[in-house]
Amino acid sequence: MSITTTPHLNFHGQARAALEFYGTVFGGEATVTTYGDLGMPKDVPGADGVVFGQVETAEGFRVMAYDIPGGTEEPAGAVGSTRRENGTTITTQPFFVSVRGESFDEVEAYWKKLSDGASVVEPLAASAWSAGFGMLTDRFGVTWSLDVASAPAA
> For residue range 66-99, what is the model confidence (pLDDT) as tens digits?
998 875 555 433 455 556 666 665 555 667 899 9
Q: Which CATH architecture has domain 82-148?
A: 2-Layer Sandwich (3.30)
Could you tell me the residue ranges of all domains in the chain?
A: 8-67, 82-148
Region for residue 141 given its phi and psi (left: phi exceeds 0; alpha: psi -120 to 50; beta: otherwise): left
pLDDT digits (tens, 9 = 90+) for 95-111: 789 999 999 999 999 99
Distance CA 134, CA 124 (A): 4
pLDDT digits (tens, 9 = 90+) for 16-65: 999 999 999 999 999 999 999 988 898 988 899 999 999 999 999 999 99
Report whether 141 contacts 79 (CB < 8 A): yes
Q: Which residues of 12-22 are buried (b: 16+ CB within 10 A; e: fewer)?
A: bbbbbebbebb
- Write the CA distances from 8 to 18, 40, 50, 79, 142, integer angstroms: 12, 22, 12, 14, 11
